[in-house]
Chains A and B, each alone.
Chain A
Amino acid sequence: MSRRDRPTERFDVGLQHERTALAWERTAISTMVAGVFLARYAAEASHPGWAVIGLLQVAGGGAVLVWAGWHYDELHGPLRRGAPVVHPSAARFVGLSTVLFSGVAFALALADVLADLGT
């Protein structure tokens, strides 16, 4: 969107669009932090290979963060035309990666605890 196309009138009462963009960005940052936690935990425990999942999580969170900032600008057009604003693909990506992340974290911690009990 060039500078000339910037909105000149108020069209989004309540700033829903901006609040949603900020929610995406908060989620992306939380994803990156959680990824660092998992990478650190996996590297310190006896499964350094699984740290890759945490690092992928950090990279994915960074990608979502960049996408959210870029998409915020881009969404002005469809919003002003009254076009659909829903994006299930992004929701699916974030949803599935969070399921993968928490599943791996749960399995690693459980394996550790069971190994502790065994010794």
Chain B
Amino acid sequence: MERRRPQPASVVRRRLVPEDPRRVGDEPDYRFTLANERTFLAWIRTALALAAGGLGAVSLLRDELAGAEALGIALLALSFLTAASAYRRWALAETSMRLRRPLPPSRLPALMAVGTALVALAAATLFVVDQL
């Protein structure tokens, strides 16, 4: 199969919804394709878990803990960011594998680690303040 380079698209569209990876390069080893798919699904589950946590904080803790709503909003915002970048990340990784290029770097794991740590820290602080 002839290898083609990705066609230029508008920058905004390319950033949000990358083109179908099947248009370029060659089919990689199916194990890599499936591993990439599992990674995408793991990110989607992370987004779903963050949203469930956020909705739980907003609805269940609302009257129990001052500031719980802000925690919930932060978790829901993290969830939205994760969900919005998961497909893009999958498509970019798939395209790189098909073109035999190195996988693209991603700031998402770092963002997720820092974001979750901050929310946990804030939750602990709110809890301690609430007990005083």
A interface residues, Cβ below 8 angstroms from B: 14, 16-17, 19-20, 23-24, 26-27, 30-31, 33-34, 37-38, 40-41, 44-45, 79, 82, 84-88, 91-92, 94-96, 98-99, 101-103, 105-106, 109-110, 112-113, 116
Which of the segments B6-14, B83-91, B100-108, B113-121 contacts the partner chain? B83-91
User: In the complex where A91-B40, A99-B83, A102-B79 touch, is A109 in contact with B72 (Cβ < 8 A)?
Assistant: yes
Given A92-B87, A96-B87, A106-B80: A101 and B34 interface contact (C-beta under 8 Å): no
* A113 and B69 in contact, given A23-B37, A84-B27, A102-B47 (Cβ under 8 angstroms): yes
Give Cα A102 to B74, complex, Å. Answer: 12
B31 CB–A CB distance under 8 Å: yes
* Residues of chain A lying within 8 A (CB to CB) of residue B34: 16-17, 19-20, 85
Is B79 touching A106 in the complex (CB atoms < 8 A)? yes
Are B48 and A31 touching (Cβ within 8 A)? yes
Instruction: Tell me if B's interface is mostly helix, strand, loop or mixed.
Output: helix
Number of interchain pairs (Cβ within 8 Å)? 128
User: Dominant SS at the A interface?
Assistant: helix
Residue of A nearest to B37 (CB): A20
Expressed in whole angstroms, the Cα–Cα distance for A110 and B54 within the complex equals 11
Instruction: State the Cβ distance, A72 to closest chain B Cβ, in Å.
Output: 12
A86–B58 CB distance below 8 A: no
Interface residues of B (CB under 8 A from A): 20-22, 27, 30-31, 33-35, 37-38, 40-42, 44-45, 47-52, 54-56, 58-59, 69-70, 72-73, 76-77, 79-80, 82-84, 86-87, 90-91, 94
CA distance A110 to B22 in the complex (A): 39
Contact yes or no, A105 B59, CB < 8 A = no
Q: In whole angstroms, what is the CA distance A103 to B22 when docked? A: 28
Judge whether A99 and B84 touch: CB under 8 Å.
yes
Q: Top 10 closest A-B pairs, CB basis?
A: A95-B87, A106-B76, A98-B83, A102-B79, A20-B34, A34-B48, A102-B80, A23-B41, A23-B38, A30-B48
Which of the residues A16, A23, A87, A105 comes within 8 Å of B51, measured between beta carbons?
Answer: A105
**Interchain Cβ contacts under 8 Å between A and B, 19 examples:** A19-B34, A26-B41, A27-B44, A30-B49, A34-B48, A45-B59, A85-B33, A88-B20, A95-B87, A98-B47, A99-B80, A102-B47, A103-B80, A105-B55, A106-B76, A109-B55, A109-B58, A110-B76, A113-B70
